[in-house]
Structure 1
Amino acid sequence: MVNGMLAAGKTLVAESGEKVKVAEIFGSGGQGEVYRVTTPQGDRALKWYYPQLADARQRQILEGLIARGWSDDRFLWPTAIVLDPEGKEAGFGYLMDVRPARFQDLPALFRRDPSVSAATMRTLVTVALHTVEAYRSLHSRGIAYRDINWGNIFFDPHTGDVLVCDNDNAVVEGESAAVAGTMDFMAPELVRRDKGAQPGTQTDLHSLAVLLFLLLMNDHPFNGAQALEIRCMDEAAKRRLYGTDPVFIYDPADARNRPVPGEQPTVVATWGALPQILRDLFVRTFTEGVRTPVKRVRESQWCVALSQVLDAITQCGSCGKQNLTQPEGAAPDCWKCGRTLLLPPRLELVTGTGTLRTRRGIRLAPHARVYAHHLVEYPDRHDFRAVVGEVTEHPQNRGRFGLTNHTKDVWTARKDDGTVRDVEPGRTIALRAGLLLEFGGGAEAEVRD
């Protein structure tokens, strides 16, 4: 039986000499087809290029990526080039790991697919944070992705973990590749084809911001009133909307492209519920950043803001819905029922040494957790499996909460009356305003109302 370009059962060979047998086709895209294949090491995925795209430059890019041997588990990285030893199939492909079934595509969110029904507001912010961290990791190695869009990111709706696919177009900054991006996500200077404009980490920052906006706002940052007036969304219309006249739907100085309330109620409501710290970053990157690319929001700035918002998520006591709140801000009204939220106490954390210490806050709602990344000044990666402490309810006195030590280290607690006690592993300290905690390594915290 023939599946696409490759027949089931056909034997191919990796450049290392490893035999690869085609099982079935997974799907197809703009550059080629993806198959499940069997190898001596188990099942893998094979991307096989359409013949017209299997050129010398693409092979050179693949060889460079494979030579790096990058083992970051957030990326389905190319591991070996595959050829047809008989020469009957023109071109080549490459091997990568199979995408685990727990990862779903981002468009499933907008389709309201049952496969992502478990995703909460906390999950979506976690997905946003992990996505930024993944691309920051790539950029820190001098590699530009060049085609950030919602089709290349997969996520776990239960944990917020992400997986970046289609990494075969990532190149070292400054080098050329066949793919320049997807127009809806491309930086305006690329859409306009400005002289000297090339895809790179700077244009990736615009694409990343578009992806974050879609993820959190359920709409495109330039699709407002002007987009609704377009009768045929052809290439010329997109070029105008995203390139020659891109207007952010919430540009404070230009109201031409505001969302139409009766036609776009979701983006109006979600923008109203978005914390100011994130609004400011979106406004900056889609106004100043559109005109002056070097002013685009950096990955580190997104990481700080998203992490702070994640730690400030508050569940409404009336309707139970999760709300994004402004870190250190006043209590907003619930986006669902309209009642004013009752904000839990905050754990004010201070990390690092010297005069420039990092401060952050965590809302101490029931089951809130302190993670290892909270105790580091500038974590490279937020790991939500490394639990340091958790807010737990007293088993006999309902309504009284404490922080349970989930580490192997002893904490030092100083109460507001000046008494000091150790909090040993597995033990809990009652949470009261004024309580001071020392976690070790220069990390300290105070409970505040």
Structure 2
Amino acid sequence: MTGMLDGGTHLTTAGGESVRVIDMLGAGGQGEVYRVGTDSGERALKWYYPACATPEQDVIVRELVDRDFDDDRFLWPTAYVPSGTGAFGYLMDLRPDRFKGLPDLFRRRLRTTPRALLTAALYTVEAYQALHSRGIAYRDISWGNIFFDPSTGDVLVCDNDNAVVEGDSTGISGTMEFMAPELVRGDTGARPGTQSDLHSLSVLLFMLLMNHHPLKGKKELEIHCLDEAAEKRLYGKQPLFVFHPDDTANSPDPVEQSTVLHTWAAAPPVLQDLFTHNFTVGLHQPTARVRESQWRDALRSVLDAVVDCPDCGRQNMTQPGATTAGSCWSCGSTLVLPPRLSIITPLPRSERHVRLHRAARVHEHHLAPEPSRHDYSDATLVAELTEHPNKPGKFGLANRSTTSWTGTRSDGTSQEIAPGQTVPLRAGLRLVLGGAQAAVHAK
């Protein structure tokens, strides 16, 4: 693959660091990405096509570098790289191989699970929430800018060079499929910002969890030439949710678009309700769109309510707080709800519910009233369900924290559970985990 820069080309960052081009990694709509060697090790260099190396983009990149946004979920521009001929680019960290693109997910080239997809959705929401909380609008949220680990759900946001301070109208408006309808139509006064980001985010979440676009139903199949005019009708002038509760004109075709019918049926009402609101009311009222905090709370509660089918072992999303779980989406068997751990956090009081399936775990964020970030990695593990080594079918909750717990059984007797110890799992068991209170319920 040949590109604008030859291997061995030498450049220098605005800060004086030496950059040597090693090879080309790929190309996108705005430029090419290269592997480069620097004084601090191998990095990635995005180099703009001449048509995209505008003075406006130059200003955006310089401002992003100066902002020094330190967040491990973003491959943020870290150094501006000029050429002396008007061309320019920027350095960023290399993307680790474990992170895969969403197109591979949509084409079913990746093996993943509902838990990993829900985790990726939750982490994606929190990543953009972190950006918006700093007064930055991303403006180009799409399937091409998010990468995820199909095993863990960890996410990495790439191509961050279109993010600007909220209210700035320079640069691009986004990718048509993900743009808010008012931007697609070009409404007077409509500008890309956090409100339009909320629409793009919801489209991305729908595609991540449903493997389909929320506005592509029968109406798309009736289009013979999907040109720009047709796209504007589909996404801007006449957008219609494929699962609109009162209008079936754009419902999914049962043959050509059967996948989304199955994925939607497998989604719990708490997610269906948010998607329905965002793609009905939210299409026409930007200020009424689902906020990141609403998505965060719903996704976390569903993630903690995932159960395994007792027959085929497939993971199923269930409605948080429900007393019945319905049937398995894969084999149709009746699902059995495992015991539930209810956690009451310190003030400001919040309640969490974790289904105690065979691989259940409790993390630090479960014990915090208002966690700034959810983290399901081993580094934040507080407790996990374990099976007795000599009594199959008997489970306990193992203390993986660094402090002792206090446990109270249903008969009123109590015990201390030191780090590394396990308390037998029984309905009625009450625990004090740090400053949080927890109780085990049968369902």
Measured against the shorter chain, the TM-score band is over 0.9
Unaligned 5+ segments in structure 2 are none
Shift of 1:228: 1.2
Q: Is the 8 A contact 1:21 1:37 kept in 2?
A: yes
CA offsets 1:386-416 (integer angstroms, 9 cap, x no match):
1000000111111111100001101011111
One-letter amino acid of the structure 2 residue matched with residue 280 of structure 1: D
Q: Is the 8 A contact 1:3 1:24 kept in 2?
A: no
**1:51 aligned counterpart, secondary structure:** coil
CA offsets 1:18-42 (integer angstroms, 9 cap, x no match):
1111111111111111111111111
- Per the normalisation by structure 2, the TM-score is 0.97
Q: CA RMSD in A?
A: 1.1
Alignment of 1:171 onto 2:164? yes
Aligned counterpart, 2:386? 392
- Per the normalisation by structure 1, the TM-score is 0.96
Report the number of matched residues: 439
Aligned counterpart, 2:33? 34
Alignment of 1:347 onto 2:341? yes
> How do 1:122-271 residues align onto structure 2 when only pairs under 5 Å count?
122-271=115-264
CA offsets 1:51-92 (integer angstroms, 9 cap, x no match):
2221221111112111111120110000111122xx4x5411
Shift of 1:256: 1.2
Unaligned 5+ segments in structure 1 are none
Q: Is the 8 A contact 1:103 1:162 kept in 2?
A: yes
Aligned counterpart, 1:22? 21
> How do 1:270-309 residues align onto structure 2 when only pairs under 5 Å count?
270-309=263-302
- Runs of 4 or more, structure 1, over 3 Å off, are none
Aligned counterpart, 1:370? 362
Q: Is the 8 A contact 1:332 1:340 kept in 2?
A: yes
**2:178 aligned counterpart, secondary structure:** coil
Distance 1:78 1:437 in 2: 46
Alignment of 1:48 onto 2:44? no
Q: Is the 8 A contact 1:413 1:437 kept in 2?
A: yes
Shift of 1:254: 1.5
Distance 1:46 1:177 in 2: 23
**1:247 aligned counterpart, secondary structure:** coil
CA offsets 1:179-204 (integer angstroms, 9 cap, x no match):
11000000000000000000000000
Distance 1:401 1:91 in 2: 62
Shift of 1:352: 2.2
Aligned counterpart, 1:12? 11
**1:308 aligned counterpart, secondary structure:** helix
Distance 1:55 1:334 in 2: 53
**1:167 aligned counterpart, secondary structure:** coil
Give the percent of matched residue pairs that are identical in Structure 1 and Structure 2. 58
Alignment of 1:425 onto 2:419? yes
Shift of 1:176: 2.0
**1:283 aligned counterpart, secondary structure:** helix
